[in-house]
Amino acid sequence: MRKIDLADATKPLAEYVKEMDGLSLVIVYKGVALAALVPLENADYETVTLATDPEFRAILERSRKSLREEGGIPAEEVRKMFADEKDE
């Protein structure tokens, strides 16, 4: 990982992307991280979009909380439910 101060980040964004060489680049201001360029290995646009979407992350957290508090449906039961629908 590399870091660069915001005041020193004067090149076009495309230049920083070309220079990444597989490493993340963090932009900092007064020691605080503001933004990052991160290589997307084995990820597509949809994966990155969902992973950073606050609404989607809230849905996941609600689902995790529900699973912890109420439990879930065993995988075998779900398979059976879908198999039963397919037979109809």
The β-bridge relationship of strands 25-29 and 2-5 is parallel
DSSP E strands, 1-88: 2-5, 25-29, 32-37
User: What is the structure's pLDDT at 86?
Assistant: 66
User: What is the structure's pLDDT at 88?
Assistant: 60
Q: Which residue has the higher pLDDT, 47 or 84?
A: 47
Q: What is the distance between the alpha carbons of residues 27 and 60, in angstroms, rounded to a whole number?
A: 29
- Long-range CB pairs of 44-50 (<8 Å, 24+ gap) are none
pLDDT band for 28, please (50, 70, 90 cuts).
very high
Average of per-residue pLDDT values in the chain: 90
Q: Which residue has the higher pLDDT, 11 or 47?
A: 11
* 53 residue type, one letter: D
